[in-house]
């Protein structure tokens, strides 16, 4: 076997494994937080994903976000734009982890400021994830025709990207007009964040060919 071909195959497999790891972490995070907090602390559903920072699952939340960030930084696509997007997503993910949201009770002035930084990182993180789905993942080779599976994958990327953007818009509307209403009891922030994270995870699993991969010739 040609050593160059072997090295190329190994590199492709490592990138696929990296993409799958990012996807699995994204999909698993909401479930791990909810089940872990319930099983270990008897806690109910928190108002948001970020509020699990103040539960026994803090280390899981921070550790998973940092791991996702490192994996995103390690990701290299076909163009410089992919690398830049991965590096930015890494910074935003780690920023979300290291700058916690505002605690629910008696926050200090410093905690409120840190909370605003957290919201900024979170918004930038989700926007970058939508950019991956809508702009980077849908790119195709202009020379080769798209396979039927690639057409389906692009539809999945599109759906995931728009779901993330919709969640961001709904979160903004809720934060501006509805957070002090009875709707808060339904935990809408948690559900919107969880849906966005799940969409992010699915898109990376598809990109990692864990789902909808092309048939081998």
Per-residue pLDDT of 88-117, as tens digits, reads 999 999 999 999 999 988 899 999 999 999
Is 215 a domain residue?
no
Query: Which residues lie below 8 Å from residue 136, measured CB to CB, with a gap of 6+?
Result: 77, 81, 82, 85
CB 25 within 8 A of CB 205: no
Please give the average per-residue pLDDT across 19-34, as a whole number.
93
Token pair for 160: 């995931």
Owning domain of residue 86: 12-207
Instruction: Give 22 or 65, the one with higher predicted confidence.
Output: 65
Confidence of residue 68 (pLDDT cuts 50, 70, 90): very high
- Neighbouring C-alpha atoms within 13 Å toward the C-beta of 199: 29
Q: Is residue 1 part of a domain?
A: no
At residue 62, φ and ψ (nearest 5 deg) are -65, -45
Q: End-to-end alpha-carbon separation of the chain, Å?
A: 19
pLDDT in tens, 114-133: 999 999 999 999 999 999 99
* Residue 169 placed within a domain: yes
In this structure, is residue 214 part of a structural domain?
no
How far, in Å, CA of 155 to CA of 73, rounded?
Answer: 26
- Find the angle CA(203)-CA(204)-CA(207) to the nearest 5 degrees: 90
**DSSP 8-state code for residue 106:** S
- pLDDT value at residue 105: 86
Asked whether the predicted pLDDT for residue 214 surpasses 60, the reply is yes
- pLDDT score recorded for residue 45: 94
Task: Give pTM, 2 decimals.
Answer: 0.88
CB 195 within 8 A of CB 165: no
- Residue at 212 is within a domain: no
Residue 213 in any domain: the answer is no
Q: How is the chain split among helix, strand and coil, in percent rounded to 5?
A: 75, 0, 25
pLDDT at 212: 67
Total domains present in the chain: 1
Q: Is residue 217 part of a domain?
A: no
Q: Is residue 107 part of a domain?
A: yes
Are the CB atoms for 134 and 95 separated by under 8 Å?
Answer: no
């Amino acid at each position: 076997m040609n050593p160059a071909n072997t090295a190329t195959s190994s590199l492709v497999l490592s990138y696929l494994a990296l993409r799958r790891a990012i996807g699995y972490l994204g999909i698993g995070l909401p479930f791990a937080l909810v089940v872990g907090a319930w099983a270990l602390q008897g806690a109910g559903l928190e108002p948001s994903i970020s509020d699990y920072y103040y539960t026994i699952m803090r280390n899981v939340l921070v550790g998973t976000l940092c791991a996702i960030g490192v994996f995103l930084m390690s990701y290299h696509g076909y163009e410089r734009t992919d690398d830049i997007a991965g590096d930015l997503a890494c910074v935003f993910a780690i920023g979300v982890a290291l700058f916690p949201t505002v605690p629910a009770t008696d926050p200090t002035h410093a905690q409120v400021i840190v909370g605003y930084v957290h919201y900024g990182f979170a918004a930038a993180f989700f926007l970058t994830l939508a950019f991956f789905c809508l702009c980077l993942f849908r790119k195709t080779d202009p020379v080769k025709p798209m396979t039927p599976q690639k057409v389906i994958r692009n539809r999945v990327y599109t759906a995931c990207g728009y779901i993330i953007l919709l969640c961001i818009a709904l979160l903004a509307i809720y934060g501006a007009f509805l957070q002090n209403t009875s709707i808060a009891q339904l935990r809408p922030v948690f559900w919107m964040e969880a849906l966005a994270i799940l969409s992010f995870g699915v898109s990376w699993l598809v990109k990692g060919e864990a789902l909808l991969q092309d048939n081998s010739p």
